[in-house]
Structure 1
Amino acid sequence: MGQVNDTKTALVTGANKGIGFAIAQGLGAIGFTIALGARDGARRQEAVERLDAAGITAFGVPLDVTSDESVAAAASALEQRAGRLDVLVNNAGIAGRADGGRQDPTTLDLDVLRTVLDTNVFGVVRVTNAMLPLLHRADSPRIVNVSSTMGSLALGAGGPLMAAYAPSKSLLNSMTAQYARRLADTPIIVNACCPGFVATDFTGYNAPRAPEQGAAIAIRLATLPDDGPRGGFFDDEGVIPW
């Protein structure tokens, strides 16, 4: 573990469970101090204790990505604690209710669509823009947006009909490209990734991949060299078509 890495801080949103926790654990294992962002206080504390038990330096950050006040408070807390941010992983995401045809495009519940977009897209913009001043203070800052191949228009948005969730990831991918263009002349490298079909409560644990496998691509993008790719969409196999 190099000295340079010892003081690097990574904020992972929605990190108390599933892929988010696995990303936090993976980054912590290679020397990052983990700022563990989560809404629920008890779950957040339990996740921090699990990281501590694994020898990882971690602290909890109360964070509701749908709240301007919560996000501003999180940025302030990070500034006081770390002074800068080296990695931001926008992992927090929701599938939204799909019962009763709520995500069938022909009977789409607009309230479900609004709710999903508020977390999966607006939440990412809210958190990213609040953290940018801290990211600009880092030597090799990275932003990783956790997306899904369900958002790929080229692949035909496979999987079940999810007319709120899938388009939210298409929009997140487009937003990732916009950030990458805007930050092209800065050290901040922005990419999106798909962790694959991972066994978490998100998928009812009915999936072939472990959270650690799903986290691997996010960890790789979070630790890219300074000449690494920008504004791309990746999984374990490589580039995913938009």
Structure 2
Amino acid sequence: MADSKRMKTALVTGANRGIGFEIACQLARAGIKVLAGVRTNERALTAREAFAKASVAVDPVVLDIADAAGMPSVLADIERLHGAIGILVNNAAILIDEPGGFDASFFDMTDETLQRTWTTNVLGPAVTMRTLVPGMIERGYGRVVNISSIAGQLSSMSSGFPAYRVSKTALNALTRIAAAEAPGDVKINACSPGWVRTDMGGPCAERTPAQGAETAVWLAQLPASGPTGGFFHDKKPIDW
């Protein structure tokens, strides 16, 4: 990463809890100015208290990833108030508990489940990248990290939570496309945090949020010689 990393501003979406909260904390501890995207003013107040309790300087900003039409103007306001965003971590995502859980069938999936999942998990990151990456290209620096999942790997694709799987596969495709079109020192990568103990992952998951955040934090601080257009787990490339 550039020597002036303290001048970089990072935006982490879905950062009021879980992996996103931990990514924001770790980046702040690395000396980066961090904005935590949250959906509502109420969540912003709760997040501010949580970051203060964690002794990190992170500023919550209200950003509803599911509101694709409104996001460009909101992001423009955020940059106007807080400075140009040089690091974007697309963490916000949903996993709708479909009938059958991990054994949920594609043939039982509802249109509503697919549409809601797609809006947050795919369209949301697409809008943030289309809005913010052009500025990164113009300034000659940018890091984008898309929080994906091994559930989206085509190489090992199986059944269960079909809407979520489809959304993460699509996010991986967006990562490759955006990386191919972003010149210079703008790195766009995806990563899988693994099975993490969060509201989404559940209490039996094998990893802590801190462990789940490590690869994303590493990708957010890549040097100019670092990779782009890759999919990583535990800081190592994995199959798409």
Q: TM-score, normalised by structure 1?
A: 0.91
Change (3 A) 1:138 1:45: farther
Give 1:22's aligned amino acid.
E
Equivalent residues in 2 for 1:1-242, closer than 5 Å: 4-99=4-99, 103-136=104-137, 138-157=139-158, 161-183=160-182, 185-236=183-234, 238-242=236-240
In the TM superposition, what whole-angstrom CA distance separates every residue of 1:33-86 from its partner, at most 9, and x where no partner exists? 111101032222222233234443322211111213541243122222233111
Q: Pairwise CA RMSD of aligned residues?
A: 2.1
Q: What is the number of residues matched between the two proteins?
A: 238
- C-alpha separation between the residues in 2 aligned to 1:240 and 1:103? 26
Q: Does the aligned pair in 1 maintain the 2:68–2:123 contact within 8 Å?
A: no
Change (3 A) 1:109 1:103: farther
Give 1:154's aligned amino acid.
S
- C-alpha separation between the residues in 1 aligned to 2:100 and 2:41? 32
Q: Displacement, 1:174?
A: 0.9
Q: Does the aligned pair in 1 maintain the 2:25–2:51 contact within 8 Å?
A: yes
- C-alpha separation between the residues in 1 aligned to 2:142 and 2:24? 16
Q: Displacement, 1:138?
A: 4.5
Give 2:215's aligned amino acid.
I
- C-alpha separation between the residues in 1 aligned to 2:9 and 2:200? 27
Q: Detail structure 1 runs of 4+ shifted over 6 Å in the superposition.
A: none
In the TM superposition, what whole-angstrom CA distance separates every residue of 1:137-165 from its partner, at most 9, and x where no partner exists? 555310000000000011234xx611110
Q: Does the aligned pair in 1 maintain the 2:106–2:162 contact within 8 Å?
A: yes
Q: Does the aligned pair in 2 maintain the 1:217–1:236 contact within 8 Å?
A: yes
SS at match of 2:232: strand
In the TM superposition, what whole-angstrom CA distance separates every residue of 1:87-122 from its partner, at most 9, and x where no partner exists? 000000001231268941121211101110111001
- C-alpha separation between the residues in 2 aligned to 1:109 and 1:61? 32
Give 1:144's aligned amino acid.
V
Give 2:15's aligned amino acid.
A
* Runs of at least 5 residues in structure 2 that lack an aligned partner in the other structure: none
Aligned-pair identity in percent equals 36
SS at match of 1:201: coil
Q: Does the aligned pair in 1 maintain the 2:151–2:168 contact within 8 Å?
A: yes
Q: Does the aligned pair in 2 maintain the 1:85–1:137 contact within 8 Å?
A: no
Change (3 A) 1:142 1:76: same
**Greater shift after overlay, 142-151 or 90-99?**
90-99
* Runs of at least 5 residues in structure 1 that lack an aligned partner in the other structure: none
Change (3 A) 1:228 1:237: closer
